[in-house]
Amino acid sequence: MAAEPRPAAGDGTVQTERSVLVGVCGGIAIYKSVELVRSLVTEGFTPTVLLTEAAERFVTPLTFAAVSKSAVLQDETAWQASGGWFQHIEAARGAQVLCVAPATANTLAKMAAGMADNLLTAVYLAFRGRVVIAPSMNWAMYEHPATQDNLRRLAERGADVLDTGSGDLACGEEGSGRMADPQTILSAIRRAFNQSAAGPLTGRKVIVTAGGTREPVDAVRYVGNRSSGRMGRALADEAHLRGADVVLVTTVDRGETAYRTVSVESAADMAAAVHAETATADVLVMAAAVADFTPGTRVEGKIERGETETLGLQLVRTQDILLASARPGLLRVGFAAEAGPRLDRARAKYEQKGVDLLVFNDILASGVGIGSLENEITIISPEGDVHIPRTSKAVCARAVMTEVERMLASH
């Protein structure tokens, strides 16, 4: 008889707040900070923006309030709200990571000297978590020994000082000093969470597979499927945020990651990469849609149409990577994408593959699963099922990793 689903850990939506303070100084690169804050929100972080007076000359607090979906901290309101400098202690206490982007020469100098003459610099002094700094300024100001000294001092104190790019600068000159791209800053913020995590996944090696494999027919054609690689990417991101040493083996490039990725194409490539990586791993999450069959022979060059009316493809079975990876000490998580509400079929796979957890989803349900942004899953585990109603793949990934951590902690 099927067990009653048990509630997911936490409040049922598996929301653990990941709060980031984003200190914004007055520089033209501020437009990239708006994008950074927006990406933080879409990727499940809770940003609180802190503007210096100079920053407000470039962008109004309203813009940041709208993209961050929360009140913006300003020097002016810091004084008004509490009648003193209490807001900086509150802000510093509530966040896990502080990111200053853009960090101008003036603010960098104040941070290096330990001054606290505005809200941002006071927060920096009161803050005890990881700090990410994205400098932005004219090339001559950036290269000046005073600025370079300040950056070195901040890095020596543990801040992750990001490199600047070179090229056209807003001042019309060319050179270094251009702020890192939002995606690069986001990766640094993710690394900061990874380094400050302290849970069952911290320091564990986790291999995640993602995307649909492409089975070559000839030099240009392949047999494939519609998997977007998003669920696997979300799982890898989540494990990394929880402190894991993550390797993502994927057929789809979904942009910069904060951890190592291995690009593969076919089921055979994926099998080779997974076996090489899992030799030293603690967890394997097979989220990829691996082809069950592949062309028996690969035609060199290109199959020509000629006068041919029909073309037969002889397909042969691929290796079941998940099954072949079984070994003591490796926690394995499988996926079962079924056509219909076939939880019974998923349960049979759970037994047959001998996995620790199996994530079931119904690919026929509308708006979820393969190729979509959202998913609805049931996690089958020895403790009973956990059902996660339709939500983002990031929230689904949190639920899966919470179950993985629970199993690691109880082993």
For 118, counting Cβ atoms within 10 Å of its Cβ (0-12 exposed, 13-18 middle, 19+ buried), the class is: buried
**One residue of 162, 235, 288, 397 binding ligand CTP per CB under 6 A:** 288
Which one of residues 72, 201, 236, 321 is an interface residue with ligand CTP (CB under 6 A)? 321
- The CB density around residue 26, as the number of other CB atoms within 10 Å, is 18
How near is the Cβ of 90 to ligand CTP at its closest, in Å? 45
Tokens, residue 330 = 């490796």
| Contact in structure between 317 and 293 (CB atoms under 8 Å) | yes
Judged by beta carbon, residue 160 or residue 385, the one nearer ligand CTP is 385
Minimum CB distance to ligand CTP smaller for 311 or for 339: 339
Kindly tell me which residue out of 72, 151, 322, 386 binds ligand CTP, with binding defined by CB under 6 A: 322
Residues 258-287 that bind ligand CTP (CB under 6 A): 267, 286
Please check whether residue 202 is in contact with residue 280, taking contact to mean a CB–CB distance below 8 angstroms: no
Burial (CB count within 10 angstroms: exposed 0-12, middle 13-18, buried 19+), residue 376: middle
Binding span for ligand CTP by CB under 6 A among 46-54, 163-171, 173-181, 319-327: 319-327
Total residues contacting ligand CTP (rule CB under 6 A)?
14
97 binds ligand CTP (CB under 6 A): no
Nearest to 238 by CA among 16, 87, 3: 16
Which secondary structure element, helix H or strand E, spans residue 119, and what is its range?
helix 119-126
CB of 125 to ligand CTP, least distance (A): 48
Measured from the CB of residue 96, what is the shortest distance to ligand CTP in angstroms? 32
Nearer to ligand CTP, 91 or 290 (CB): 290
Tell me how far, at minimum, the Cβ of 345 lies from ligand CTP, in Å: 7
**Helix/strand/coil (H/E/C) assignment for every residue in 375-401:** EEEEEEECCEEEEEEEEEHHHHHHHHH
C-beta of 112 vs 336, nearer to ligand CTP:
336
Give the C-alpha separation, 210 to 199, whole Å: 24
Span of 47-55, 148-156, 302-310, 328-336 interacting with ligand CTP by CB under 6 A: 328-336
| Residue whose token pair is 């902690």 | 409
Annotated catalytic, 99? no
Q: Which of residues 329-348 bind ligand CTP (CB under 6 A)?
A: 334-337
Out of 74, 318, 361, 381, the only residue in the binding site for ligand CTP (CB under 6 A) is: 318
- Least distance from C-beta 337 to ligand CTP, angstroms? 5
CB neighbourhood size of 156 (10 A):
10
Output 244 or 267, the one with its CB closest to ligand CTP. 267
CA terminus-to-terminus distance, the chain: 26
Q: Would you say 53 or 265 has its CB closer to ligand CTP?
A: 265
Q: Which of 34, 189, 290, 400 binds ligand CTP (CB under 6 A)?
A: 290
Taking the complex as a whole, the smallest distance from the CB of residue 266 to ligand CTP amounts, in Å, to 11
Pair of tokens at residue 40: 């933080």
Instruction: Give the SS3 label for residue 201.
Output: coil
> From CA 101, how far away is CA 169, in angstroms rounded?
16
Q: Can you tell me whether residue 270 is helix, strand or coil?
A: helix
Neighbouring C-beta atoms of residue 203, cutoff 10 Å: 12
Nearer to ligand CTP, 234 or 337 (CB): 337
Which residues are annotated as catalytic? 171
Residue numbers at the binding site for ligand CTP (CB under 6 A): 267, 286, 288, 290, 292, 318, 320-322, 334-337, 349
